[in-house]
Amino acid sequence: MSEVVIAKLKLWKKDPVQFVRDNFHVEPDKWQADALTIFADQNDHYRIALRACSGPGKSTVLAWCALNFLVCYGGNGNYPKGVAISITLDNLKTGLWAELSFWMNKSKFITHFFTWTQTKIFANERPDVWWLAARSFPAGSDTETIGKTLSGLHAKYLLYIVDESGAIPPAIIKTAEQGLGETLTRQGGFAKILTAGNPITTDGLLYAVAKMPSWHNIKITSDPEDPNR
């Protein structure tokens, strides 16, 4: 890998907003830029929640963070691994997973080094250990079964994404918390839990984390006078 590419990766790791500009040729909204900046913080903000109505660009932010994670982390025998789930498999396929494909195809750099499939995005160099997987659970599953979809990850660089979490049971996050704790004990380890959705019920994960001080909550309004709309 050339020195120019290595320098770019270091820049993008520190500044995911520039990663978005360089690879996708768009300018993030203010709240999106804030979320990307918080995602890059390796010393804090390990848990990030995006709360909003439908359509402001939550899945876009999740996709940008996921691609930044895959592209910029790893090395010296340590490779990034991640899992993405949603309220249903169809929702994941038509929502976040389609969003990942959309943005990947806008970047010649990313599509040169990574491959998108219906179930996994992987590094062409090491497809066995460098990936983000789409996982699902059967309809009507209990909390334990849903939680198992997030299990089995062990890596120095780790990412959990729970999309459309308004109605997903809060208890499933315990599995991700275990992986988060394990990774953060490693020297130089990087781990994040990202969730996003519409606040549709007081029984869901999104409502639960809104009250937890350990979570960084980003609320996106529809107020036209609010720069974070």
Secondary structure (3-state) at 46: coil
Secondary structure (3-state) at 151: coil
Under 8 Å CB-to-CB from 165, ≥6 apart: which residues?
49, 87, 195, 196, 197, 204, 205, 206
| CA 41 to the chain's CA centroid | 14
Secondary structure (3-state) at 68: helix
Q: What pLDDT, on a 0 to 100 scale, did the predictor assign at position 75? A: 77
**CA–CA gap between residue 50 and residue 63 (Å, rounded):** 13
Is the CB of residue 88 less than 8 Å from the CB of residue 100? no
Higher pLDDT residue, 20 or 150? 20
Per the structure block, which two tokens stand in for 221?
A: 């309004």
Strands 190-197 and 114-116: unpaired
Q: What pLDDT, on a 0 to 100 scale, did the predictor assign at position 141? A: 76
Predicted confidence band at 38 (pLDDT cuts at 50, 70, 90)?
very high
Q: What is the mean pLDDT of residues 135-139?
A: 83
The 10s digit of each residue's pLDDT in 61-118 is: 999 999 999 999 987 889 999 999 998 889 999 999 999 999 999 999 999 999 999 9
Q: What is the mean pLDDT of residues 14-22?
A: 98
